[in-house]
Every structure is written in structure tokens, then in C-alpha cells.
A and B are shown apart, each in its own frame.
Chain A
Amino acid sequence: MTSAHRIWKLHKYSSIALIPLIIYLLIIILRFSSLSYEQILIEISGAWSIFFILIFTILGIFHMNTGINEIIDDYIHDPKIYKIFKFLISSFFTGISLFVCLSILMILL
């Protein structure tokens, strides 16, 4: 199995796992809209919520990263622009990971 084939398979597996997680996220957003700040804070600092956020972040970032890199590989052929986009994408996802960790720490402390 080539590296590209393995990444494609993992991308597909991550999309299978993300479908119920995204549906759950949308349900949570609807539920939180009727709660007060204190209630949201209690709910979100629970073990299940933290576990959900972490799993969602790991799978989501993997899925988004492989998907966007595939688009870049398909449509950007200039080596310089290609490198710039690759750098921007990796910076974006590194930033997202850091901010999620920071948010969890601030919620828990």
C-alpha cells in the first residue's frame, strides 16, 4: 500500500467517524443555546465533554489537513505558491490545536 493510498484510506475512516461527531456537535450547540453561562461551564468541564472535544479535534484536524492538502496538490502547481500554502495550512492547524488545548485548560482551571 502506497503512502498516498494509506492517507486516502485514513481520510475516509476519519470521515466515517466524524459524521456522528458533527451531528452530536450540532445537537450540543442547539442545547447550549438555551442554557446559562454557568450551566454551559458545568456541562463543558465534564469528563465526557473534554473527551469529546479532544477526539473531535484530533479527528477533525487530521481530516481537514489531509483534505486541504489534497486540494493544494490538485490545483497549485507553482512550487513557490505550493510551499507558501503548505506552510499556511500547517500553521493554521497548529494554531487550532494550541487554542483548543488552551481553551480546555482555561475551562478546567
Chain B
Amino acid sequence: MNSPLSPHLQIYRWQTTSLLSILHRISGVVSSLGSVVIIIYLLSIGLGEDTFNFVISLSDNLLIRTLLIGLTFCTFFYLASSARHLLWDYGYCLDLNVAKMTGWAALSFAVFFTIFFWLKLYGVI
């Protein structure tokens, strides 16, 4: 408990890199909580066809679908952002401008693949 305090967010000047860093943590936490969705899916398969069909039909609910789309976005963003953090750990892409560019690339990746994933899931493409 004697670790140094993190920057106080309320007096911190927002920058692209810090915003993306916070988004990385938020998306990680949301993806962790989203693992419950996978567990429900697995359990429903084990419980039988009726339960499985019921769980699948829940995704027709607008609120649940919106949450699932948000979860997909967080997962894709966390995936891309983790790759970015790994590059930093090995000493690559540490230049400020490159860091900003890879941050926007991670965000674009998440938006593109979230749309692609849901279009594919609904058989549109």
C-alpha cells in the first residue's frame, strides 16, 4: 500500500497518449467482465438446446445487443492496444508521434473489425 500515487486524473491535462492508455485499461476491465458472456454461452450449450436457443434469442434485445457490440469493440481495441504495448516493451515505436499514430491505428482497427464482425455475424457480408 506504500506504492506511489498515480496522476490525479481530475487535474491531469488530457493528451491523446494518456487517453489511449486509460482506454486500454478500461477496455481490459470491460473485456474481463465480458468473459461472463462466454461462460453463459458455454453453460447454455451444456444445459441443452432450449436454454441455448433462449440465450441466443436474448441477443435480439436492443440493449443486450448494444452491450455486446460495446464488448466486441473493447475486445478488439484491447487486442490491438496490447500488441502496441508489447512493441513498446521490446523498445519499438516509442517516438511520441509514432506512439500517437499507433494509438489511432489501434482505435481504427477496433472500429473496423467491430463493424466487420457484426456484419459477418448477421450474414450481411
B6, B32, B42, B86: the one within 8 Å of A64 (CB): B32
A51 at the interface (CB under 8 A from B): no
| Residues in A neighbouring B15, C-beta threshold 8 A | none
Q: Size class of A's contact patch? A: 35 or more
Main secondary structure of the interface of B (DSSP, over half): helix
Nearest-CB distance from A71 to chain B (Å)? 6
- Given A37-B53, A73-B3: A16 and B86 within 8 A (CB)? yes
- Given A53-B42, A67-B28: A96 and B35 within 8 A (CB)? yes
Contact A102 B43 (CB under 8 A): yes
Most buried by A among B1, B39, B75: B39
Contact B32 A77 (CB under 8 A): no
A33 at the interface (CB under 8 A from B): yes
| Residues in B neighbouring A106, C-beta threshold 8 A | 43, 45-47
CA distance A104 to B35 in the complex (A): 16
- A53's nearest neighbour on chain B, judged by CB, is B42
- A70's nearest neighbour on chain B, judged by CB, is B25
Contact B35 A64 (CB under 8 A): yes
Main secondary structure of the interface of A (DSSP, over half): helix
- CB contact list, B9-42 vs A, under 8 A: 25, 28-29, 31-32, 35-36, 38-39, 42
- A99's nearest neighbour on chain B, judged by CB, is B39
| Residues in A neighbouring B86, C-beta threshold 8 A | 12, 15-16
List 8 A-B pairs, minimum CB-CB distance, nearest first: A106-B46, A103-B42, A64-B32, A37-B49, A74-B6, A107-B46, A99-B39, A103-B43
Q: A12-B86, A37-B53 are in contact. List 6 more A-B contacts (CB 8 A).
A: A15-B86, A30-B120, A40-B52, A53-B42, A64-B31, A107-B46
Q: Which residues of A contact B (CB under 8 A)?
A: 12, 15-16, 18-19, 22-23, 25-26, 29-30, 33-34, 37-38, 40-41, 44, 53, 60, 64, 67-68, 71, 73-75, 77, 79, 82, 96, 99-100, 102-107
